[in-house]
A and B are shown apart, each in its own frame.
Chain A
Amino acid sequence: MIQLIDVHKKFGKQVVLDGVNFNVQEGETVALLGPSGTGKSVLLKHIIGLIHPDSGTIIVDDKDVVHLKRHELAELRSHIGYVFQNGALFDSDDVFENVRLGITDDAKYRDLDYARARVAECLKLVNLPPETVDKFPAELSGGMRKRVGIARAIAGNPKYLLYDEPTSGLDPVNADVIDELVRSLAETLGVTGVMVTHDVRGAFRTANRLALLTGGKIVQQGTPKEFLASTDPRVQEFLERDFHNATIAA
Chain B
Amino acid sequence: MATEALDFPRLVGRWFLNATSHVGRVTMLLADLVRSLNEVRIWVPRMFTEAWNIGVGSLFIVLLISGFAGGVTALQARYQFTGTIPIYYLAGVIVESIVLELGPVLTGLILAGRIGARYAAELGTMRVTEQIDALESLGRSPSSHLIIPRVVAGLIMIPVLTVFADVMGIGAGWFSMKLVLPISDADFAYGARTFWRPFDATYSIIKAFFFAACITVISCYMGFNTQQGAEGVGRSTTGAVVSSSVMILLLDVILTKLLLNQ
Contacts and interface: CB of A to CB of B under 8 A. Distances in A.
A240 interface: no
Interface of B: 35, 41, 126, 129-131, 133-141
Given A88-B130, A88-B134, A101-B140, 11 more contacts: A48-B137, A50-B133, A74-B141, A82-B137, A84-B134, A85-B130, A86-B130, A88-B133, A89-B131, A104-B138, A104-B139
**Which applies to chain A's interface (DSSP): helix, strand, loop or mixed?**
loop
A104 B140 CA distance: 8
A90 B134 contact: yes
Nearest to B39: A106
Interface string A115-129: 000000000000000
Given A85-B130, A91-B131, A80 B35 contact: no
A102 B137 CA distance: 9
B130 A70 contact: no
A139 interface: no
Top 4 closest pairs, chain A to chain B, by CB: A77-B139, A82-B137, A88-B134, A88-B130
Contacts of A45: 133
Nearest to B35: A70
A77 B129 contact: no
Interface string A51-89: 000000000000000000010011111101010111011
21 contacts: A45-B133, A48-B137, A74-B139, A77-B136, A77-B139, A78-B138, A78-B139, A82-B134, A84-B130, A84-B134, A84-B137, A86-B129, A86-B130, A88-B129, A89-B134, A90-B135, A91-B129, A101-B135, A101-B140, A102-B138, A104-B139
A101 B138 contact: yes
Interface string A23-45: 00000000000000000000001
Contacts of A48: 137
B133 A75 contact: no
Contacts of B133: 45, 50, 84, 88
A176 B137 CA distance: 26
Contacts of B139: 73-78, 104
B137 A50 contact: yes
A88 to B, nearest CB: 4
A78 B141 CA distance: 12
B154 to A, nearest CB: 18
Contacts of A143: none
Contacts of B140: 74, 101
Contacts of A70: 35
A110 to B, nearest CB: 8
A202 interface: no
Nearest to B136: A50
A79 to B, nearest CB: 9
Contacts of B135: 90, 101
B131 A80 contact: no
